[in-house]
Amino acid sequence: MTIEERVKNLVEEKVSDRPDLFLVDVKMHINGNLIVLVDGDQGIGIADCAAISRFVGFHLEEDNVIEQAYNLEVSSPGVDFPLKSLRQFQKNIGRNLQLKLADGSKKEGKLLAADEEGISIEEKITAKGKKATFAEARLTYGQIAEAIVLVSFK
């Protein structure tokens, strides 16, 4: 079992009584930084991140899983972190996304729906000298290389 797999199991054990919280990603970097990203349907607070950090840190030390010195960071994914899971997509319905597609093209649009197969967006189509129109586009997760929430300051 890798360090990442062990940490995933520990986080899932810790949040098992909190159906609103979910694991997004775990990465062990060569420099010793162990990054754990956790989110919630209504976001996640510092107290929850600290509790997860204490739980994971305690068990990693107790099991002596990591040989070298490491730095454990537990946080929520930032707004610039790509969406990875169905729950993240569902949490962001109604927000605008910037999509990089597997074929290299890009799309932008308002996220209308997300299910196990893919997403639906409302894409703004502009042609020079014409009024903008909107069209619904359906994309499978296999077509999406990266999806980032666009932050609006309006």
Q: Given this model, what pLDDT does residue 152 score?
A: 76
Q: Quick check: 114 and 90 in contact, CB under 8 A? A: yes
Query: Are 120 and 64 members of one domain?
Result: no
Which of these three, 75, 98, 116, is where a domain ends? 75
Q: Is residue 81 part of a domain?
A: no
CA distances 44 to 72, 81, 103, Å, are 17, 15, 34
pTM of this prediction?
0.78
Longest Cα–Cα distance in the chain: 66
Query: Are 68 and 41 members of one domain?
Result: yes
Q: Given this model, what pLDDT does residue 95 score?
A: 93
Return d(Cα 106, Cα 99) in angstroms, integer. Answer: 6
State which residues form the domain around 9: 3-75
**Number of domains the chain is built from:** 2
Residue type, 103: D
Query: Are 10 and 71 members of one domain?
Result: yes
Q: Given this model, what pLDDT does residue 154 score?
A: 67
Q: Is residue 16 part of a domain?
A: yes
Query: Are 111 and 56 members of one domain?
Result: no
Q: Given this model, what pLDDT does residue 133 score?
A: 87
CATH number at residue 39: 3.30.300.70
Which of these three, 43, 75, 107, is where a domain ends? 75
Query: Are 19 and 63 members of one domain?
Result: yes
Mean pLDDT for each 10-residue chunk of the chain (154 residues)?
92 95 93 93 93 95 84 89 92 94 94 96 86 91 95 75
CATH number at residue 116: 2.30.30.100
Q: Is residue 154 part of a domain?
A: no
Which of these three, 49, 75, 101, is where a domain ends? 75
Angular region, 37: left φ>0, alpha ψ -120 to 50, beta rest: beta
CA distances 28 to 70, 73, 104, 137, Å, are 9, 10, 29, 36
Q: Is residue 122 part of a domain?
A: yes
Task: Of 10, 39, 28, 114, give the one whose Cα is nearest residue 73.
Answer: 28
